[in-house]
Chains A and B, each alone.
Chain A
Amino acid sequence: MLCIRLPARHMAAILTAFTLTTATCQPLRAADAPMVKIENFAFTPPELRVKPGTTVIFRNDDDIPHQVVANDSSFRSKALDTGDTYEFTFTKAGDFAYFCGLHPHMQGKITVAP
């Protein structure tokens, strides 16, 4: 049989199917997942609109640590050193204002709407 003669290809097919299944079970997160960059003591973009279920990645590009904290305490990262990322999946609709726990003059907002 084909599957006996080409076991490697068979395995690859199984793995591909597995990967696809896994991907669809995850929240919306891919190479083009929305990202908020933290640079020059600012969140960029300062306001971001996403659909419910979207995972947003925050990445610190500064030489100083920052910390992402929701105004309503619904999410809170650890201190992010240079190059560190923090991911949060926004499941509920609404406006989520956040700030930097270390430099609170830095503010941003995620709007979650269908």
Chain B
Amino acid sequence: MTHHHDDDNGHISRRHALECMIWAGTGVLWTISGGIPVSLNLLGAAQAAEAMATGFTFLQISDSHIGFDKAANPHAIDTLKEAMGKIQALPQKPAFMIHTGDITHLSKPAQFDNAAEIIGGAGFDVHYVPGEHDLIDDGNGKAYLDRYGKGTRGAGWYSFDQNGVHFVALVNVVNLKAGGLGNLGAEQLAWLADDLKALSASTPIVVFAHIPLWAVYPEWGWGTDDAAQALGLLKRFGSVTVLNGHIHQIMQKVEGNVTFHTARSTAFPQPAPGTAASPGPMTVPAGQLRGLLGTSSVTVKQGGQDLAIIDSTLA
């Protein structure tokens, strides 16, 4: 398969971006080498295996929507259990997990409890960020923060380090403005600037948040209004990986040293941008659902800047 050499300015063409999206949908492996993203086909898996042997992996799950019981998947709780079962069966155990939001469908205590039992039951450390579905309790987010807000700032943002990689968890689902998209807000951006200040430019950065931090499809609200300011703060770093959820399908884009990736949901698929009347849950023929749900595994090579993302379905 073609490597992405793109133009001399490091810009990726729209054609290449679309190719990435297609490959991603069929289980592509990504690695970032020296800030230049290179896509590998599955024959390149040996490289990932090598990376796994010397580095660590972490696992992303997203949009579990516990409580969702509509036609697109009447059993969202079962597909989350299946996803966790597959994660537990992985030959190389992930160092930890991240959940990129919409843990629950309606922020109800029983939904949070069920999710915590199923996800927590696997025994991994899990780092969460909220989706908009996690903040619609009567306390406007109290239910989420009571469970996952310990040690976080503001609406639940935080950072941590693992094996030389700096992880930043951002919240872009609060104080949404009429006509707008996802929102980080001035307070969080100021915190981010401060958080990144002391880091050397060679530190690999992984940013995760619920709504994509790039304009996937603003017509459906799939983007974040002030993401450009956050990305501006990340510009000096040689390797930045941005992991999001919200859109229940894999999308990938590479811009300079930044790789953007969205994960599948474990609950229900949503249509590709502009292919349906609305972004609502997509009902597919029986037998196809599990091929559209899944998780993402990210491998970080020790001492290098390489990250490889492998998407797996529940099928």
Contacts and interface: CB of A to CB of B under 8 A. Distances in A.
Contacts of A81: 106
Given A42-B278, A99-B178, A105-B219, A63 B71 contact: yes
Contacts of A86: none
A104 B178 contact: yes
B281 A63 contact: yes
Contacts of A54: none
Given A41-B220, A82-B70, A65 B178 contact: no
Which of B71, B178, B220, B221 neighbours the largest number of chain A CB atoms within 10 Å of its CB? Answer: B178
A87 B179 CA distance: 22
Given A65-B133, A67-B136, A103-B221, A40 B179 contact: no
A82 B133 CA distance: 14
How many residues of A sit at the interface, in one of the four size bands? 20 to 34
A71 B178 contact: yes
Nearest to B178: A99
Nearest to B219: A105
Which of A65, A71, A79, A82 neighbours the largest number of chain B CB atoms within 10 Å of its CB? Answer: A79
Tell me whether chain B's interface is mostly helix, strand or loop, or mixed: loop
A64 B133 CA distance: 9
Nearest to A99: B178
B218 interface: yes
Interface in B68-97: 70-72
B279 A41 contact: yes
A71 B136 CA distance: 18
B179 A63 contact: no
A107 B180 CA distance: 10
A64 B265 CA distance: 15
A2 B307 CA distance: 91
Nearest to B223: A105
A102 interface: yes
Nearest to A101: B176
A40 B280 contact: yes
Contact of B177 (A63, A65, A104): A104
B209 to A, nearest CB: 16
Interface string A33-44: 000000011100
B70 A78 contact: no
A41 B278 contact: yes
Nearest to A80: B136
B281 A64 contact: yes
Interface string B215-229: 000111100000000
Contact of B181 (A69, A97, A104): A104
Interface in A47-95: 62-65, 67, 69, 71, 78-79, 81-82
A104 B136 contact: no
Interface in B175-216: 176-181
Given A97-B178, A105-B179, A107-B179, 10 more contacts: A41-B280, A63-B70, A63-B281, A65-B105, A65-B106, A102-B136, A104-B179, A104-B180, A105-B180, A106-B221
- Please give me the 6 A-B residue pairs with the lowest Cβ-Cβ distance, nearest first: A79-B136, A40-B278, A99-B178, A41-B278, A105-B221, A63-B70
9 contacts: A40-B280, A62-B278, A63-B71, A65-B136, A79-B136, A103-B221, A104-B178, A104-B181, A105-B179
Interface of A: 40-42, 62-65, 67, 69, 71, 78-79, 81-82, 97-99, 101-107
